[in-house]
Structure 1
Amino acid sequence: MSNWVFMRQILLGLLLLSPVFVSADVRVPKLYEIEIRVADDSLDARKNAQKKGLMGIFVRVSGKVDIASNPKIIAAIKDYSVYIRQFRYIRKGAGDKSSVLLWVSVNQDQVNKVLRNAGLPVWGERRPNTVVWVAIDDGNRRYILSGDDRSEAKPVMVFNAKRRGTPLLFPLLDHEDQSKVRFSDIWGGFLTPIKKASKRYQTEGILVARVSRRGNGWYARWTILIKGNTYRWTSSGRHRALVLSIGIDGAADKIAEHYVTDTRYAAKPKKAVEQPQATQSQQSNSDSGKVVAVRPKVKNKRNDYVDNFDESDESDEYDQGYVSRKNRKKRKKRKWQSQGQQGQQDRVDQGSQVSSDQFISTNPPARRMGSGLYISVKNLKGIRDYVLIVRYITRLSSVRSAKILKLEANLAVIEVIPKNSASSVKRAISIGSTLVPVKLEINLSAGSSSSSPNQREFANLAHYRYTK
């Protein structure tokens, strides 16, 4: 025997004897992104998919599936467009096997806030790892799913685990695994050898499944071991994908039940920004019964914006509500030019509070014509509606800031500064049902000072009706 063959055998033996270093918990990225299958790219299909996607993210982050009846969740799903940051279509496959998916990204802070207000837990990105031992008898062969398995069962389990935000680890099924666990051990539910084989993977949980054909359908028996507890359940159905999906949901529910409230895995809320002391005049205004509104937070204090965007050159990617970072960098940016001290005071700052009448500006800072969007909203009844509509618009992902410029009876004219373009704001509004477009004629110059925006400055004006 040559020295090389001898050394190779020694190295192989050391490799087989060495442990597999796997963390008991792993980071699950993209918790606030989801893909939903859609029939086509129509508006109705997109709205339904976005609602379904938002609900899926609520379930994934909270770890609970029985939240559909929670009043806070119901209200959030009804006003789903507020939480959507980006979306785009993904086409997979070709021919008869092609499918269309809608990728949706939501606002993490707003989703977490809804869950906390609803009294639900917020599960962070660090989640417990679970090793999976699955024995399958499909009528033709018997086998155990491994990390490099190419059967149709594994992708189904991985997809549903990702949908629930539950990490799964499939065994290597190398010489060491096969010497400790046999197909009959998993099939018969003998947990002692499975526990011994699972020690090398150092995971928090162990999931065991037996999947087989039964008549014209499929049947599966599931067992999960978590923190010294053992849980068992079954799933059955006509299609194997459905049976596996139900089984993964059962495992995710049990894992969440034990770990979602664990301080090691809970998402840490952001520290609240200390509010400045209210001045004497602000206290007197508050005491007089005026509604107090919090100005929206703006991440970019420079108030940069894009003003040279040509709507005729919109790409398909932008039409679908998404502007890539690469495309944004290509577009020219320039600073907002505020004039004098008034312009500095008009900047939106974090955490400051203003009374409701301070949303109205009779002398806005000078701007280049056509850079913003003016929105007229009717059917507003009382100061509460005025404040709520401004908050709704400022929370849209495509809006940098918004402010009421003019009030007339039950109508308001709001100046909106978009992050990218006016058309992106209109698209974001059209996704939801809070504002419905209408035809409306108003006199914009009546009652305005000489320095107020004139008719030409309101050329980019959209009319809406507020629906409660």
Structure 2
Amino acid sequence: MRRLHALAAAAALLLFCALPAAAQDGLRTEGDVAKAQGLYEAEVTVPSQSEGDRNGGLARALGQVLGKVSGDRNAAARPGVAAELRNARNYLDSYDYRQDQGTSATGAPSFRTTLIARFDPQKVDVLASVLGLPVWPQPRAKPVLWLAIDDGSGPRLVGVQQSGAARSVLDRAVDRGYRLGLPQGTAAEAALAAAIWRGDTAAVASASARYAPPMQLIGKLYRGKSGWVAEWTFVDGGKVLATSSSDNADARQAMATGADVAADALVKRYAKQAVGGQPGTYRILVSGIRSAEDYVRLSAALQQTAVVRRIAPVRAQGDVLELDLDLLSGVDGLQRMLGQDGPLVGGDGDPPQFYLK
């Protein structure tokens, strides 16, 4: 036990080193504009291109990606997720920057730095599974958005030709990990604005039969007492899965809520709960602990793993250390997070036996 106390004391004095440097930015040809595309990419605004600001931006970007992959808009608040977001560089494939120019309130030009992060799909999938996030399978459906807007001159349907008017809800859908489509806006379809206004979902579903899939996000946007009101109904295969309403002084923000209504309904119906180990305290054996430095390396490897919530040394005998670990998703989750290239390998047996390389 004296040896164990000595090892623990040495470990307590060590400040752990920073994680490996982030991946370099991807190559682009002249004239290309960097932007996030797909589920495993995200873009965030950062104050500068410094390492500190980049690391903070990567953490936020990974949180966005986990939200898109799982469909859970609160993914970043799940147990263990926030801690692992600090290790976002470990999941990075490449990154890039974009300078966006705008106009300030005074009319002067303003500039904003945007970080575009592209993460490794396989690593992100493993992380999501280990942390118990739901799995929203791909390919994902592209519901048809039937939106009528009344700005005071009567309700009018938003078709493909007026896609700019629906940009906020279309973009919000992409942020949630799926896409919405718009009807062509033919004369017959334009007449459906009246059906949308009276809540005739059957009429809208019938007109939408020419499009695939048989899913409709039906909405109406109109002026209310304190701004704009948006009312939504999401229909899948003729069945109403969700209804919601919201109001906002900004019409674009009121409109964007429709994408969340559809996304939440789709996730609830089609997402599958991740299959992982049960949370709890597990006893493990680790061999190869021959010095205080070895104990420090072991502690660092475990503490940098999101599924490890607490480490409690039990006893040391020879080069074998016995530990109780409070794990978020069992020993299987620990093994998957450690990988085969890390300093700690193994995990078979009862109790599980690991080896410090």
With the length of structure 1 as denominator, give the TM-score of the two structures: 0.49
Larger radius of gyration: 1
Match of 1:144 in 2: 157
Match of 1:85 in 2: 93
Alpha-carbon distance, 1:45 to partner: 4.0
Q: Say which of 43, 60, 66 aligns to 2:68.
A: 60
Matched with 1:431 is: none
Q: Does 1:163 align with 2:175?
A: yes
Supply the distance in 1 between the matched residues of 2:120 and 2:302 (Cα, whole angstroms): 15
Question: Could you say which residue in structure 2 is the equivalent of 1:173?
Answer: 185
2:200 aligned partner: 190
- For the aligned residue pairs, the C-alpha RMSD in angstroms reads 3.2
Structure 1 SS opposite 2:38 = coil
Match of 1:344 in 2: none
SS of equivalent to 2:161: coil
1:112 and 2:120 are equivalent in the alignment: no
| Residues 1:290 and 2:297 are matched in the alignment | no
Name the count of aligned residue pairs: 255
CA distance 1:182–1:288, change in 2 (3 Å) = closer
Aligned to 1:206: 216
Aligned counterpart, 1:100: 113
Aligned position for 1:458: none
3-state secondary structure, aligned to 1:128: coil
Q: Distance in 2 between matches of 1:106 and 1:30?
A: 10
**Equivalent position of 2:225 in the other structure:** 215
Aligned residue for 1:58, secondary structure, equals helix
Q: Given residue 162 of structure 2, which amino acid in structure 1 is its aligned partner?
A: D
Deviations 1:190-244 (A, max 9, x none): 1121011110002141100111122342210000012423321112222122222
Where structure 1 has 5 or more consecutive residues not aligned to the other structure, the ranges are 1-28, 269-286, 292-355, 358-379, 394-468
Q: Which of 248, 256, 263 does residue 245 from structure 1 map onto? A: 256
Cα distance change on mapping 1:384 and 1:201 into 2, 3 Å: farther
Higher RCO by CA contacts (8 Å cutoff, separation 6 or greater): 2
Number of the residue aligned with 1:49: 57
Kindly report which structure 2 residues correspond to 1:298-377, keeping only aligned pairs within 5 A, or say none: none
Deviation at 1:163, TM superposition (A): 0.7
- Residue 52 of structure 1 aligns to a residue whose secondary structure is helix
In the other structure, the counterpart of 1:324 is none
Percent identity, please. 23
Distance in structure 1 (CA, Å) of the matches to 2:259 and 2:300? 42
User: Residue 219 of structure 1 contacts residue 243 of structure 1 at CA under 8 Å; is this kept in 2?
Assistant: yes
- Aligned residue identity for 1:189: G
Aligned to 2:246, which of 229, 235, 253? 235
Distance in 1 separating the partners of 2:209 and 2:144: 10
User: Do the aligned residues in 2 keep the contact of 1:136 with 1:144 (CA within 8 Å)?
Assistant: yes
**How far off its partner does 1:71 sit?**
2.3
Question: Residue 144 of structure 2 contacts residue 217 of structure 2 at CA under 8 Å; is this kept in 1?
Answer: yes
TM-score (norm 2): 0.62
Tell me if structure 1 keeps the 8 A contact 2:146–2:182. Answer: yes
The CA deviation at 1:257 is: 1.1
Which deviations, in whole Å up to 9, do the C-alpha atoms of 1:350-381 show, x marking residues without a partner? xxxxxx78xxxxxxxxxxxxxxxxxxxxxx95
- Cα pair distance change 1:125/1:254, threshold 3 Å: same
In 1, the alpha carbon distance for the partners of 2:149 and 2:86 equals 42
- Give the aligned partner of residue 24 of structure 2: none
Q: Deviations over 1:103-137 (max 9, x none)?
A: 11112222211211122223343001201100112
Cα offset for 1:67?
3.1
- Quote the residue 1:73 is aligned against: 81
Task: Mark the CA change 1:62 to 1:193 in structure 2 (over 3 Å): closer, same or farther.
Answer: same
- The amino acid that maps onto 2:119 is V
Match of 1:34 in 2: 42
Report the Cα distance in structure 2 between the residues aligned to 1:112 and 1:226, rounded to whole angstroms: 27
Greater Cα shift, 207-216 or 34-43: 34-43
> For 2:44 and 2:155, how far apart are their aligned partners in 1?
33
Q: In the TM superposition, what whole-angstrom CA distance separates every residue of 1:387-432 from its partner, at most 9, and x where no partner exists?
A: 5657999xxxxxxxxxxxxxxxxxxxxxxxxxxxxxxxxxxxxxxx
SS of residue in 1 equivalent to 2:197? helix
Indicate whether 1:131 and 2:171 are aligned. no
What code does the residue aligned with 1:126 have? P
2:267 to 247, 253, 256: 256
* Contact kept in structure 2, 1:62 and 1:121, CA below 8 Å: yes
Unaligned runs of 5+ in 2: 1-36, 104-108, 276-283, 305-357
Distance of 1:238 and 1:38 partners within structure 2: 27
Counterpart selection for 1:385 from 296, 299, 313: 296
- Paired residue for 1:154, among 148, 166, 181? 166
Q: Which digits, 9 at most, give the CA deviation of each residue in 1:24-55, with x for residues without a partner? A: xxxxx721001223354455543332222111
Residues 381 and 184 of structure 1: CA distance in aligned 2, closer, same or farther (over 3 Å): farther
Letter in 2 for 1:114: L
Residue-by-residue CA offset, 1:279-337 (whole Å, 9 max, x unaligned): xxxxxxxx99515xxxxxxxxxxxxxxxxxxxxxxxxxxxxxxxxxxxxxxxxxxxxxx
Structure 1: distance between partners of 2:303 and 2:182: 45
Question: Residue 71 of structure 1 aligns to a residue in which SS?
Answer: coil
8 Å CA contact retained: 1:32, 1:105: yes
